[in-house]
DNA sequence: ACAGCAGTCTACTGATACAATAGACTTAAA
DNA sequence: TTTAAGTCTATTGTATCAGTAGACTGCTGT
């Protein structure tokens, strides 16, 4: 299951994708439209900015906007930034790998099965982009 | 990510699958062989029994054993018993479905993407069985 | 019958991560 | 120079995860 935080992030990104090219969008606007607690949303957007998915402008007329064409940003990338690993086990994670303590990966059936599901999941999440989160 | 509990469950089931047809196996044996805290393992095995994946025998010569041929029990079934949903969002879960509060599933791009990943994941986890978790 | 083995059950505890909140600070535009 | 907006630090409540303790029940062999 994706965490609430990750779900909020994806909803916010979908909203911003729909406004791509139209200048900065207020945190408060996203918060109201997408029903996300504003203070929580602040921290999420900041993380996405630090990962170069979003950019921001301070002061009057400021707000957040997507840093590059939404079609160039995959869901996998966004999920990793706010939600961590996509794989079901650390020993099959590409970006957050940790070795299994008590099994040999070459012969572990569980490892094989989970590596397959990781591949299947990534095939979709690397392909889908923020542009496909736009409403309607 | 699968919880520690789910990982322990799958490791224990793999061990039991390797001993299928050889009578009851002690909790303590599984605990030592698979390096799982014994008290934690107790609760996990009990859950698996209540879901009819395992059976048990009390007293001397007792222990746990798999209830039916390991080839008949999918990883998806086992994971659902101890770990809950496989889908990444409640609104695309088949067994633990919850409606999204603020989006229309028919038009929600996120819903579509997550439904696809659920299908891809299940295709693998419904097919893989406990028999494939046997070591070596 | 009973001794001891092994699973069952109830209850609790500590740690961690998730979710959310408060308030002071910085930057930029009008 | 006032005001709007994002930024940062810090704290809090809550739930779930992970693990522990100990008493109880049922089975088997002697």
A60 CB contact with strand C at below 7 Å: yes
Q: How far is A34 from chain B (nearest CA, A)?
A: 7
Arithmetic mean of pLDDT, A85-100: 88
Chain-centroid distance, C-alpha B99 = 25
pLDDT digits (tens, 9 = 90+) for A15-74: 999 999 999 999 999 999 999 999 999 999 999 999 999 999 999 999 999 999 999 999
Q: pTM of the predicted model, to two decimals?
A: 0.90
The per-residue pLDDT of chain A, averaged, comes to 92
Arithmetic mean of pLDDT, B56-72: 95
User: B124 and A101 in contact by Cβ < 8 A?
Assistant: no
Arithmetic mean of pLDDT, A70-93: 92
Arithmetic mean of pLDDT, B31-44: 92
- Give the integer Cα–Cα distance in Å for A44 and A41: 5
Of A84, A102, A132, the CB nearest to B109: A132
Residue A87 has pLDDT above 80, yes or no: yes
pLDDT at residue number B69: 96
Instruction: List the one residue out of B47, B62, B12, B63 whose CA is nearest residue B33.
Output: B12
- Give the integer Cα–Cα distance in Å for B108 and A135: 6
Instruction: List the one residue out of A42, A36, A35, A51 whose CA is nearest residue A83.
Output: A51
Q: Are B87 and B93 in contact (CB under 8 A)?
A: yes
Query: For chain B, which residues lie within 8 Å of any Cβ of chain A, measuring from their own Cβ?
Result: 1-2, 7, 10-11, 14, 34-35, 75, 84-85, 87-90, 101-103, 107-110, 112-113, 116-117, 120-121, 123-125, 128, 132-136
Q: What's the fold here for domain B1-136?
A: Arc Repressor Mutant, subunit A (1.10.10)
Cα–Cα distances in angstroms (integers) from residue A42 to residues A23, A47, A50, A56, B88, in the given order: 18, 9, 12, 12, 23
Q: How far is A84 from chain B (nearest CA, A)?
A: 9
Residue B84 has pLDDT above 80, yes or no: no
User: B1 and A89 in contact by Cβ < 8 A?
Assistant: yes
pLDDT digits (tens, 9 = 90+) for B92-101: 999 888 888 7
Report the distance from CA of residue A127 to the C1' of nucleotide C17 in Å, as an integer.
Answer: 30
More confident of the two residues A1 and B127:
B127
Q: Are A67 and A52 in contact (CB under 8 A)?
A: yes
Residue of A nearest to B7 (CA): A89
Residue A119 has pLDDT above 80, yes or no: yes
- Binning pLDDT at 50, 70 and 90, where does residue B15 land? very high
Arithmetic mean of pLDDT, A97-116: 87
């Amino acid at each position: 299951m994706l965490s609430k935080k990750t779900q909020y992030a994806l909803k916010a990104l979908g909203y911003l994708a729909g406004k791509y090219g139209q200048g900065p969008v207020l945190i408060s606007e996203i918060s109201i439209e997408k029903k996300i607690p504003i203070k929580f949303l602040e921290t999420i957007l900041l993380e996405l900015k630090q990962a170069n998915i979003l950019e921001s402008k301070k002061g009057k007329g400021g707000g957040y906007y997507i840093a590059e064409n939404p079609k160039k940003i995959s869901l996998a990338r966004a999920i990793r930034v706010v939600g961590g690993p996509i794989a079901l086990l650390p020993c099959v994670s590409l970006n957050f790998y940790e070795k299994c303590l008590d099994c040999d990966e070459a012969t572990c059936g569980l490892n094989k099965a989970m590596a397959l599901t990781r591949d299947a999941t990534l095939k979709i999440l690397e392909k889908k982009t923020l542009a496909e989160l736009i409403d309607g």
